[in-house]
A and B are shown apart, each in its own frame.
Chain A
Amino acid sequence: MKGESMNDLKKYLSIGKSLKICILDNNSVEFLTWVRKNVILEKIFSQYDMILIPQWVWTEVCDSENRKSYINDLKHYSKVQIIDEVDYLTLVDYKEAELYYLFLYCCYNVSRLVSFIKKNILKNRPVEDLDPYEEWLGVFYEEGLDQRKLSNGRIQRKNAGEISIAILSYILSYYYSGSIDIITIFSSDRDTYEFVSKAKEILYKDERFKDRSNTSITFKSNDFLIYEWTRLGYIDEQNIHTFVDSYRQTRRIKFTRKKQDNSIEEQDKLIDNAAFLEMLKDSTIHLIF
């Protein structure tokens, strides 16, 4: 997406409406293709004004025809846009230094990347003297991210999708907070969650960002979606066992539970399918991730 359409998007994001934005991660798209027969796309996405997919995630989506066609079908129901990372600069109004910090903070969990960015991108210079964004973005993608050759011949860049999603969400959160109400990331990847959480921790302390208004970023993991669908009656009670057995595996869940006195307990636990089915019946639970 270049030039004109990028400016259209910026305009759309700045009109002051209470926008609800959904950002899709590859693993969620995969999950959604599995459950497509059970829950129709419209039910999941109609509440969002726009669905965004960063280019680096889109590349991964395209490794599977199923995922690709799911997104293409989604376009009939909702506004879907794939955003090239190069265009992040336009979205932040060409504030290159700030974009640099967003990259750095969204990579903070991976020491090797932080070291790479400082050594090969910042190169001991003040942030004002950085190479042009497009240039260093290329260096980061080509040389910074670990790579692995997939069976289809494509080179996969490790963590590219997670990092790009985290940066895009913070761009929306900080630069368009006036017109965006909701930023929800559909992802079941713990790394994505941790990248976003770590960046939040640092941004809240950083002088450049800490006093700015921002829209909070939330998640819908696969488990969250199943919980939500059960509550909404999209999956009926007879089918729920089969559904969970077919589409879910033991996974760590972060959630809260309301106690008898209304106080809230936080938990982060490995939950197998049997325990998860019990959780689905419990309305005092809120899944965080």
Chain B
Amino acid sequence: MSELITSNNLEQVIEKNKLIKDDMLRLTNDFTVRFNKSGVTGQDKLSFSVLKENHLIQIPIDDEYWGGAIITKGNIKIPVINTAQPRVYQYFVAWHEIYHLFYDLSLRDETHNIAVDMDLNERRADYFAAKMIFGNVYDYYYSLDDEDFIDRVIKCMDVYKAPYKAVLIELFEEAVTKYNDIDLKEKILEHFDNKPEDLVQKFIDLELDSELVKPSYVVSLGGLEKKIQSVMKENPDVSHHKDNYQFLLTLKNKIKKGVEGFAK
């Protein structure tokens, strides 16, 4: 993701968003037309199903700063998502990676395009993700009766399946660019750098499904198993497919064993 966003640079982020807003809205429309032919309504399901068609690898990695990536090898691009991160991050990362997979010019060209401003590029991916995830979060926020700011934000997280900061950035943008809502703006700035520590407990207290803020630890190797099984069937006289199948299973078991360690 892009540079670490804090209350200090939040305003600049909104300025940057202004520059790319039209572009990103165009891409979100394009995405819906091109990739959501089956009319999937859950945004979390949609992003994962599209990524899975592109051999998404889901793997838990013990690194809280590593959300995912697109691994490129020749012309092949494979999205990877870290499932040791809470699901809300995974959902956001999924959309972020979809931007890179389909719209990122630096990845689209065969040669790496160094003319692309990497920082702005990451901002584009984040903004694309936000635009795919959020509806009118500002209105939703104000429709909530709760007095407590954090409780309302958590309810927004729950409804949009979005990370804490993503909710705040989206609210902030609306407050600043559309409604000139100084009060909300101040509140966001005040809380932006202090994410509640125990989100799981907060979700439970608010009678929400806390699975959303827990890791999923899913291990999935991009449909490779099925692919190898089918070539094994087609080419019974080739032994290396069997070897590769065995190797894949060994790897998968190894990963799963490793996960048992840090899932506890």
**A residues in contact (CB < 8 Å) with B:** 109-112, 115, 146, 158-159, 190-191, 194-195, 205, 251-252
Contact = CB atoms under 8 A, between A and B. Distances in A.
A283 B102 CA distance: 49
B237 A110 contact: no
Interface in B61-89: 74
Interface in B203-249: 235, 237-240, 243-244, 246-248
Contacts of B239: 158-159, 191
Contacts of A110: 240, 243-244, 247
A230 B238 CA distance: 27
Interface residues of B, number: 11
B248 A190 contact: no
Contacts of B74: 205
Contact of B237 (A109, A111, A159, A252): A252
Given A158-B239, A190-B237, 4 more contacts: A111-B244, A191-B238, A194-B240, A251-B237
A147 to B, nearest CB: 13
Given A110-B240, A159-B240, A205-B74, A252 B235 contact: yes
B238 A194 contact: yes
Contacts of A195: 240
B235 A191 contact: no
Interface of B: 74, 235, 237-240, 243-244, 246-248
Nearest to A112: B247
A109 B240 contact: yes
The 10 closest A-B pairs by CB, nearest first: A112-B247, A109-B240, A190-B237, A190-B238, A110-B240, A111-B244, A111-B247, A110-B243, A191-B239, A191-B240
Contacts of A109: 240, 244
B201 to A, nearest CB: 42
21 contacts: A109-B240, A109-B244, A110-B243, A111-B243, A111-B244, A111-B247, A112-B244, A112-B246, A115-B247, A146-B243, A158-B243, A159-B239, A159-B240, A190-B235, A190-B237, A191-B238, A191-B239, A191-B240, A194-B240, A251-B237, A252-B235
B200 to A, nearest CB: 37
Nearest to B236: A252
A288 to B, nearest CB: 15
A30 to B, nearest CB: 16
Contact of A112 (B235, B237, B238, B243): B243
Contacts of B235: 190, 252
A189 to B, nearest CB: 8
A110 B248 CA distance: 11
Nearest to B238: A190
Nearest to B74: A205
Nearest to B237: A190
Contacts of B238: 190-191, 194
A205 B75 CA distance: 12
Nearest to B245: A111
Which of B74, B238, B248 is packed against the most chain A CB atoms within 10 Å? B238
Contacts of A159: 239-240
Contacts of B248: 111
